[in-house]
Amino acid sequence: MMIYVQYFGGQYDYVKPDMLDNKLMSGEIRKFLRANGWAVVGQDPIRKPDSDEHHYFGKERRRSFH
């Protein structure tokens, strides 16, 4: 499963879900594509992973590309 993202430099790419979390935490991602459209960092609600453990009990909304 890959997630379509846009970096702050304007480039687009596909990243794995665990890399999305890392890139969001490091501030590299401007927006990423969910099933219902683009999620804009700093504007749309985005879950924040715990330090070493990823506990999220809501619906999975990240769009997968095969």
What's the pLDDT tens digit per position in 10-19?
A: 999 999 998 9
Number of domains making up the chain? 1
Structural domain boundaries enclosing 56: 1-66
CA distance 36 to 23: 21
The pLDDT of residue 46 is 86
Does residue 7 contact residue 30 with C-beta atoms inside 8 Å? yes
Task: Report residue 60 as tokens.
Answer: 């999975």
pTM of the full predicted structure? 0.70
The pLDDT of residue 48 is 67
Residue 5 has pLDDT above 70, yes or no: yes
pLDDT digits (tens, 9 = 90+) for 27-66: 999 999 999 999 999 999 987 655 545 555 566 666 666 5
